[in-house]
Structure 1
Amino acid sequence: MRSRAEQHFGYVTGDLIRAVLSSGKWKGTWTGRISVRARGQHSLTTPVGRINVSH
């Protein structure tokens, strides 16, 4: 059954966040709006495009 909680890992869809990625293709500091997922892999929308980030 799908949970209907408004928060996942302390984040709500639409929150403005800053993600610091230390390695990989998207290495760097990114700021944007987040779309939360119950499993912890969230989608960060930036001016460049979408980046998948973990909680």
Structure 2
Amino acid sequence: MIMSMKIRIFSLAAGLALALTGSLSARDNYKDTWYVNDHLATTDNVRNLAHIF
């Protein structure tokens, strides 16, 4: 019972860390492309989302 809880917490933390690092690397990629394509409405959403991380 306790073991399954530990695994659940660990997988949750691992998923969170993966999402965070993924967004950080994505932010670096977006810097190159999205600032160029500034006329697109979606770029503002992506940039705002990237600035949170």
TM-score, normalised by the number of residues in structure 1: 0.25
From the two aligned structures, give the one with the greater helix fraction: 2
TM-score (norm 2): 0.25
Higher RCO, 1 or 2 (CA under 8 Å, sep at least 6)?
Answer: 2
Of structures 1 and 2, the larger Rg is shown by 2
More strand by share: 1
